[in-house]
C-alpha cells in the first residue's frame, strides 16, 4: 500500500495529463484539495513536492499552483534500461540491447580508483570493458571497475547479460544513486575500433560512480557513447 501522498500525486498527475485541469488556470488551492481528498494540507503539500520535482507543476506564494507550460516536451524522452535514477534521463532510440565482452580481468586498483571506490590498494577489483549494442549497432563502450568483495562470483556470462540484474536479483544489492561527470572527448583506440569512430568523430564520456543503499561505492565507470546516438537530459527546478 503506497503512501497517501503518492496516491494523491498520482491522481493529480493523471488529471493534468488528461487535461482535466485547464492548462492556463491555477490548480484548485491546497485547502480545496485537502478537503476533496479528505486529508490534511501537509499531505497535499507533500504530493505537490513530488509533482514539482517531476517538473509537472510549480508553485508561487500568494498566487497558486500552476501547470508547467511545456511539461509534455519533457515526456518525449525515454528512460534507458540501465538508468535506474530519477532526475536525469539518457536519450536513445528504442530497440534491443546486447553486450559483447571486450575485456574481463582481475587486478589491484589504481590510486584514482581507490579514492573513487573508497577501497585500499590491496582490495582486488574487476576490470571489464563491454561494447553495448542497440539493434546490433554499436552504441557505447563501457569500462567498469568493481570491488571484488562486493560482487562475489561475477562471471563473463553475467557481463553478456545484465550485470544490474545479477546484482539486484541474485545478490540483493540495492542502488542508492550516482555521481556523474559528462564531457566530450576525442576517441581513443578502443572507441575507433569498436564504436566505428573516425578520428574526427567525438565521443561523449560519462564518468560515474554508483552507490549502494548504504553509501558504499559499487562501481566506477567510464562510458563512451557515439556522439550521434545519445544525449543526456537534465531538468532543473529553481
The contact set with DNA (CB under 7 A) reads 1, 3-6, 26-27, 29-31, 38-43, 45-46, 48, 59-65
List the beta bridge partners of residue 205: 183, 224
* 139-159 residues labelled b (16+ CB within 10 A) or e (exposed): bbbbbbbbbeebbeebeeebb
In the complex, the smallest distance separating the C-beta of residue 185 from a second copy, rounded to whole angstroms, is 6
- Give least dist CB 82 to DNA, A: 24
CA-angle at 233, arms to 118 and 66, nearest 5°:
115
- Tell me, residue by residue from 100 to 119, as one string, x for binding to a second copy by CB under 8 A and - for no binding: ---------------xx-x-
Interface mask toward a second copy for 125-164; x: CB under 8 A: ----------------------------------------
Q: State the number of CA atoms in the 13 A half-sphere of 232 facing the CB.
A: 20
Question: In whole angstroms, how close is the CB of 30 to DNA at the nearest point?
Answer: 4
Q: How far apart are CA 187 and CA 197, in angstroms?
A: 7
Residues 16, 68: Cα–Cα separation, whole Å: 10
Q: Which of the choices DNA, a second copy, none does residue 108 contact, using the CB cut-off of 5 to 8 A by kind?
A: none
Annotate each residue in 41-70 with x if it binds a second copy (CB under 8 A) or - if it does not, as one string: -x------------x--x-x-----x-xxx
Amino acid at each position: 500500500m503506497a503512501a497517501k501522498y503518492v496516491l494523491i500525486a498520482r491522481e493529480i498527475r493523471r488529471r493534468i495529463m488528461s487535461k482535466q485541469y485547464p492548462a492556463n488556470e491555477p490548480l484548485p488551492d491546497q485547502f480545496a484539495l485537502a478537503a476533496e481528498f479528505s486529508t490534511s494540507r501537509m499531505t497535499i503539500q507533500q504530493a505537490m513536492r513530488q509533482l514539482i520535482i517531476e517538473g509537472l507543476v510549480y508553485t508561487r506564494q500568494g498566487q497558486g499552483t500552476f501547470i508547467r507550460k511545456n511539461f509534455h516536451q519533457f515526456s518525449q524522452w525515454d528512460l534507458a534500461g540501465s538508468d535506474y535514477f530519477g532526475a536525469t534521463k539518457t536519450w536513445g532510440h528504442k530497440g534491443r540491447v546486447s553486450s559483447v565482452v571486450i575485456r574481463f580481468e582481475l587486478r589491484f586498483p589504481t590510486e584514482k580508483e581507490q579514492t573513487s571506490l573508497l577501497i585500499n590498494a590491496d582490495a582486488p577489483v574487476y576490470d571489464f570493458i563491454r561494447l553495448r549494442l542497440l539493434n546490433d549497432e554499436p552504441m557505447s563502450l563501457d569500462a567498469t571497475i568493481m570491488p571484488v568483495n562486493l560482487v562475489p562470483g561475477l562471471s563473463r556470462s553475467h557481463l553478456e547479460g545484465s550485470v544490474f540484474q545479477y546484482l539486484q536479483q541474485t545478490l540483493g544489492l540495492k542502488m542508492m544513486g550516482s555521481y556523474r561527470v559528462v564531457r566530450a572527448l576525442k576517441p581513443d583506440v578502443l572507441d575507433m575500433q569498436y564504436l566505428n569512430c573516425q578520428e574526427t568523430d567525438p565521443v561523449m564520456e560519462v564518468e560515474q560512480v554508483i552507490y549502494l543503499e548504504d553509501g558504499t561505492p559499487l562501481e566506477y565507470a567510464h562510458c563512451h557513447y557515439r556522439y550521434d546516438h545519445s544525449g543526456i537530459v537534465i531538468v532543473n527546478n529553481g
